[in-house]
């Protein structure tokens, strides 16, 4: 299809000819602004040797731009009513495969095994304009599954992007910031106005790029304990660490006191003041004492 997929008139005419209905519950806010599509595809730095994996292609507006830059694009779309539409809109690209599946039930590692053709992480990039209702689970699943990709460049609700990107000592800094920054360097690519979508969402959006580090910045004795410490700390963020850490399962007042001391962290501090290194040090000391 040579029609401009980002033109509102194209989206309307495809919608009418296929009797397609936007699904609110699937987070269907389609992009109708070419600049923003470019922000995602250029922001991801997709090149001619790359495999791009797209989450939620919708009518294919990002997919078709990615297909012009990448060696191969694999797009995972849950809505089966979009599959015949994508067949039409992407007909001119022979390097695109669409998989009709729920991304949360998809083994992305398997997609890479099937379509990666020996590529290493450097040439594998994940992109998308995400359904906002599952932004965090999607990101955490990709990171926790150890998907060998170099970056994830995605549109999400602005508030979530700000939380993921937040630095210690700021109001947005929390468990989500630490969890994502444990795996990635984060960078805001662009803030996006509501007018860039059809239908328009109620909230502002942001394109965020996550660069997955090959090696972790901190060494953890036990990842589970690290995440428990982070969760407990921010679970009661107004409390001092000596109180909030009591939320870690199996911990005692004595362990909290000794672990804080051994990590060189003042017991009167709050979780929001700790950086990644301090959380790592503290959780390793807790682990040694549990």
Note the residues at the interface with ligand SAM (CB under 6 A): 26-31, 55-58, 61-62, 76-79, 82, 102-104, 129, 131, 134
Q: Are 104 and 134 in contact (CB under 8 A)?
A: yes
**Of 22 and 222, which has the nearer Cβ to ligand SAM?**
22
CB of 117: closest distance to ligand SAM in angstroms? 23
| Residue placing its CB nearer to ligand SAM in the complex, 30 or 279 | 30
- Distance between CA atoms of 77 and 83, rounded to whole angstroms? 8
Q: How far is the CB of 120 from ligand SAM (least distance, A)?
A: 25
In angstroms, the Cα distances linking 190 to 43, 96, 155, 163, 205 are: 9, 26, 9, 15, 9
Closest residue by beta carbon to ligand SAM: 56
For residues 107 and 3, what is the distance between their CA atoms, to the nearest angstrom?
A: 33
Q: What are 7's two structure tokens?
A: 């033109």
- For the CB of residue 159, give the shortest distance to ligand SAM in the complex, in Å: 16
Cβ 62 to ligand SAM shortest distance, Å: 5
User: In the complex with ligand SAM, which residue's Cβ is closer, 32 or 255?
Assistant: 32
Q: Which residue has the tokens 């194209």?
A: 10
To ligand SAM, the closest distance from the beta carbon of 203 in angstroms equals 12
Cα atoms in the Cβ-side hemisphere of radius 13 Å centred on 220: 21
- The closest alpha carbon to 35, from 3, 1, 65, belongs to 65
* Complex with ligand SAM: residue 80 or 238, whichever CB lies closer: 80
Looking at beta carbons only, is 25 or 249 nearer to ligand SAM? Answer: 25
């Amino acid at each position: 299809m040579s029609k401009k997929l980002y033109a509102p008139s194209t989206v309307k005419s495809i919608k009418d000819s296929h009797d397609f209905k936007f699904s609110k519950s699937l987070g269907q806010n389609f992009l109708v602004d070419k600049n923003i599509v470019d922000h995602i595809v250029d922001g991801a730095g997709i090149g001619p040797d790359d495999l791009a994996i797209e989450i939620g292609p919708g009518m294919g507006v990002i997919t078709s731009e990615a297909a012009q830059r990448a060696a191969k694009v694999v797009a995972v779309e849950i809505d089966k009513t979009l599959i015949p539409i994508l067949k039409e809109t992407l007909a001119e690209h022979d390097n695109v495969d669409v998989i009709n599946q729920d991304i949360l039930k998809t083994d992305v590692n398997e997609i890479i095994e099937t379509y990666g053709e020996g590529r290493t992480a450097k040439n594998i990039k994940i992109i998308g304009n995400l359904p906002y209702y599952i932004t965090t689970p999607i990101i955490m699943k990709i990171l926790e599954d150890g998907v060998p990709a170099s970056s994830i460049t995605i549109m999400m609700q602005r508030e979530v992007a700000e939380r993921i990107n937040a630095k210690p000592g700021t109001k947005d800094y929390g468990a989500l910031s630490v969890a994502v920054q444990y795996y990635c360097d984060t960078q805001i690519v662009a803030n996006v106005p509501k007018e860039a979508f059809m239908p328009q969402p109620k909230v502002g959006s942001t394109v965020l790029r996550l660069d997955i580090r090959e090696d972790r910045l901190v060494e953890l004795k036990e990842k589970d304990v690290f995440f428990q410490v982070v969760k407990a700390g921010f679970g009661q963020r107004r409390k001092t660490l000596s109180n909030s850490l009591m939320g870690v399962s199996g911990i005692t007042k004595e362990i909290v006191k000794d672990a804080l001391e051994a990590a060189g962290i003042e017991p009167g501090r709050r979780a929001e003041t700790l950086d990644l290194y301090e959380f790592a040090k503290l959780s390793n000391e807790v682990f040694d004492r549990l």
